[in-house]
Amino acid sequence: MSALPPPDDKLSDDGLDSLFASLNRASGIVAAVSGGPDSMALMHLLARWRARSDKPPVLVATIDHGLRPEAADEAAFVAREAAALGLSHRIMVWTGDKPSTGIQEAAREARYRLLVAYARKEGASHLVTAHTLDDQAETVMMRLSRGSGLSGLAGMRPETDRQGICHARPLLDWPKSRLLDLCHGQGWPFVVDPSNASEDYARVRWRRLMPLLAEEGLTAERLARLAERAAQADAALDLTARKALACAAPVLAEGGLSFRGGILADEPFEIALRVLELALAQAGLDLDNSRLNRLESCTVRLREAVRAGEGLRLTIAGALVRLGHSGQVFIAPEPPRRRGR
């Protein structure tokens, strides 16, 4: 857990060094700044950190999703504030057709696609966002409501790989109120996005419920602690599953991946589940988190077939999974379906 800085008028060098320690090794840093208080605080803190000594370059990026008429003015506001801090700034616009449903998810995917592409273009190794403790708590509750597994309940990680770019969230254990107080105390201007108050979006509805949950003891801090513990357990199980798959003698060939299927029956169900998921990933067929139920169903069927000594064919996430009578599992891309079948 990173340490909160001293009072607003005494932000220490040590506090900033501790907060951004993981960024020292970066070749360059893209900071995603929308103009809200969280991201504006992040931008100012990064500017102070970088100004003190020889630090990696910081490039500020704002995404105009084209969903609100005010968005262009907000991006221009961030550009002016970044320039006043001596930081480079880039505005990127999400163009093309917008979906009629799932707009926030689509906007999120577009945002990260643009940010990662920009980081690559500029030779930056790190992308930094201003996700907070409150964001983490909301994420955990939303995933809990969808029946997510342990990996989902681990919430957002302090660092995530995005196609070779390290996505860092240095403010993940800071409450939003702390950043808002910091903006007010330091005189850092920010904008207010009206969509953050629209109950058309699930995250906003969950945000409205959080004070009621906190009254019963389910505070943002406790939800974040749950995520941290889930992440620790998830990492331990993932390591065990990787060792189990390695013991199953996996062979990666041009046509796909094969391994001894007995491992699926010998290991506890959670490990077998992860072995199958890892095998799919190694075969180049990453499984979307939303397909957890399908992965569980396939694991159950494979375990039963292994124990019965039977063959089995099934498909999942664009993959054909075949269990031979010898007990060997083969995973390969599902062949194209013929028209009319």
CB-based contact 307:341 (threshold 8 Å): no
Q: d(Cα 27, Cα 222) in Å, to the nearest integer? A: 35
Number of H helices and E strands in the chain, helices first, is 12, 11
**314 forms bridges with which residues in the sheet?**
321
Q: Which residues contact 204 (CB under 8 A, 6 or more apart)?
A: 195, 196, 197, 198
Cβ atoms 330, 260 nearer than 8 A: no
Q: The pTM is what?
A: 0.86
Token look-up 């190794």 returns: 125
Structure tokens at 2: 């990173």
- Are 2 and 18 in contact by the 8 Å Cβ rule? The answer is yes
Instruction: Per-residue pLDDT tens, the chain, 341 aa: give them.
Output: 444 444 444 478 888 999 999 999 999 999 999 999 999 999 999 999 998 778 999 999 999 988 888 899 999 999 999 999 999 999 999 988 888 788 888 889 999 999 999 999 999 999 999 999 999 999 999 999 988 899 999 999 999 999 999 999 999 999 999 999 999 999 999 998 777 767 777 888 888 999 999 999 999 999 999 999 999 999 999 999 999 999 999 999 878 999 999 999 999 999 999 999 999 999 988 766 557 889 999 999 999 999 999 999 999 988 999 999 999 999 999 887 654 44
Q: Quick one: tokens of 203?
A: 């995250």
Cα angle: 193, vertex 165, 49; to 5 degrees: 65
CB 34 within 8 A of CB 193: yes
